[in-house]
Amino acid sequence: MLNTNSCYFIGELVEVKRLTQGTFEREGQQIPYVSASIILKCVIRGEENLIQLENFTSSLKKDGTPNKNYNTIVNINDMLNKRVVVSGSSLSGERFWSTKNNQLVPATKINFNIINLASRTQTEDKAEFKFGGFVYRELSEKNNEEGELQYYTITLAQANYKETDMFEIQFTVAKDNFTAAQHIREYYEQGSTVEIKGEVSNLVSVQTITEEVDFGEPTVRTVTRSEKHFYITGGNKPIVGEGEYSAEAIAALVKAYAISGAKIKEDALKSTSKTEAAGTPAETKAAPSKKAALAGLI
């Protein structure tokens, strides 16, 4: 099954939000690890994007040999405010239970393995991705409160490395990218296997709001808004044959995803001391078609 998933960044390391070290057990041995969360500034077509990346690196690889990336991450503050190249990156789809909205909420993270100082010739900022999987939710319009089109979204899913479960990523098509929107609407139907490429965008804006009061000085507060998108800029027609997700594979993955989602809900409700029990999803029969594999489960 198609599992294309890579990202590539060139930009300035502007913040190390978190840097922690510890140990974990592997086959009876305590292995040191380092975990980091960083912010890259990538200026794409004149717009400043602040993109958060996550890292977890152990000092030893699974074969017991030293991991050369470990010391780089431990000393990542040495790269602060310098231009860097980040590779070995991928998109990660996670979910959490929202008690406020009473539903599972998907979240997308970007994980990275390798970071190095940029060379003198690497002067152009980049924030690129490639991704392949099957269409989980077809193209749909996203409008503002006035009913005006803002952008399109499409959700792709991909099997995990063991092919025992899946994760979902929502991608965006700009409202003025008519070619992409037309192609996706025509060919990317639910269940089809596709491969796309595009750009990561995270525009951050700060707004100052002044609230008048009946007497005294007005209240001034600052609101920071972040708008994160994975914009599709290219893709091909659906893949048939090698790498294609079969109807049976999709049905199995969707069923596993429902079960793991129910477990997330159950654990969340237990942790908040609520008495409501999470339900177990009904048995899913083999799907006669790819689109039918998703019917009623989304």
Say what the pLDDT of residue 159 is: 96
Mean pLDDT of 289-297: 65
Which residues constitute the domain of residue 151? 5-294
Amino acid at 200: V
Q: Which long-range contacts (CB under 8 A, 24 or more apart) does 150-158 make?
A: 150/175, 151/175, 151/229, 152/181, 152/184, 154/184, 154/188, 154/232, 156/131, 156/132, 156/194, 156/196, 157/133, 157/253, 157/257, 158/1, 158/2, 158/3, 158/5, 158/93, 158/131, 158/132, 158/133, 158/134
Mean pLDDT score of the chain, rounded to an integer?
90
More confident: 101 or 202: 202
Read off the pTM.
Answer: 0.85
CA 14 to chain centre: 21
Phi-psi region of 116 (alpha: psi -120 to 50; beta: other; left: phi over 0): beta
Whether the per-residue pLDDT at 49 is higher than 90: the answer is: yes
CATH of the domain at 139: 2.40.50.140
Q: How confident is the model at residue 278 (pLDDT cuts 50, 70, 90)?
A: very low
Position 297 scores a pLDDT of 63
Instruction: With cut-offs at 50, 70 and 90, classify the pLDDT of residue 285.
Output: very low
Instruction: Give the count of domains, the chain.
Output: 1
> Residue 210 pairs with which residues in a beta bridge?
220
Largest pairwise CA distance in the chain: 72
Q: Answer whether 261's CB lies under 8 Å from 158's CB.
A: no
Q: Is the pLDDT of residue 275 over 90?
A: no
- Check if the beta carbon of residue 45 is closer than 8 Å to that of residue 39: no
Q: Select from 153, 133, 135 the least CA-distant residue to 143.
A: 153
Q: What is the pLDDT of residue 22?
A: 96
3-state SS class at 127: strand
pLDDT tops 60 at residue 277: no
Residue among 35, 127, 44, 36 at smallest CA distance from 86: 127
Task: Give the C-alpha separation, 200 to 230, whole Å.
Answer: 5
pLDDT tens digit sequence for 66-94: 999 999 999 999 999 999 999 999 999 99
The token pair that represents 77 in the structure block: 């503050």
**How many CA atoms within 13 Å lie on the side-chain side of 259?**
12
pLDDT at residue 117, rounded to an integer: 97
The tens digit of pLDDT for each residue in 1-29 reads 999 999 999 999 999 999 999 999 988 88
Question: Could you report the per-residue pLDDT of 173-192, keeping only the tens digit for each?
Answer: 999 999 999 999 999 999 99
Question: Which residue blocks in the chain are alpha helix, DSSP H?
Answer: 69-74, 178-187, 247-271, 290-294
Q: What pLDDT was estimated at residue 295?
A: 62
User: pLDDT tens digits, residue range 221-263?
Assistant: 888 888 899 999 999 999 999 999 999 999 999 999 999 999 9
